Amino acid sequence: MYRSTLKTTRSDVRSLVRDAQELFLEAAATTGEKAEDLRERGLELLDAALSKAQDVQAAAIETSKEIAATTDEYVQENPWRAIAISAGIGLLVGLVISRR
């Protein structure tokens, strides 16, 4: 669920930034009131992209807090299992590194 939301938001932000860039290029080529309108629309699109990026950041922070809490709870309930898992992962990483 989080991955699909992240992908959707990422594509939305890219689209908004691309649209804003196009508007700014068009505004640079024109003058007068139309150029000002295009600049304002471009700034609105950039603000929307920033807002979406901040929403994704907040969701990522919230998810990481949940994962950390779950991990802490698991380690508190199963300390020896956590030590064994950590040692096993360390051994595997050590073997991979030593093969290089």
**pTM of full prediction above 0.85:** no
Element (H or E) spanning 42, and its range?
A: helix 33-77
Q: Which two tokens stand for residue 33?
A: 């009131």
Give the pLDDT score at 69: 93
CB 51 within 8 A of CB 16: no
Q: Is the pLDDT of residue 24 over 80?
A: no
pLDDT, averaged across the chain: 81
Q: What is the pLDDT of residues 26-37, one digit of tens each?
A: 777 777 777 777
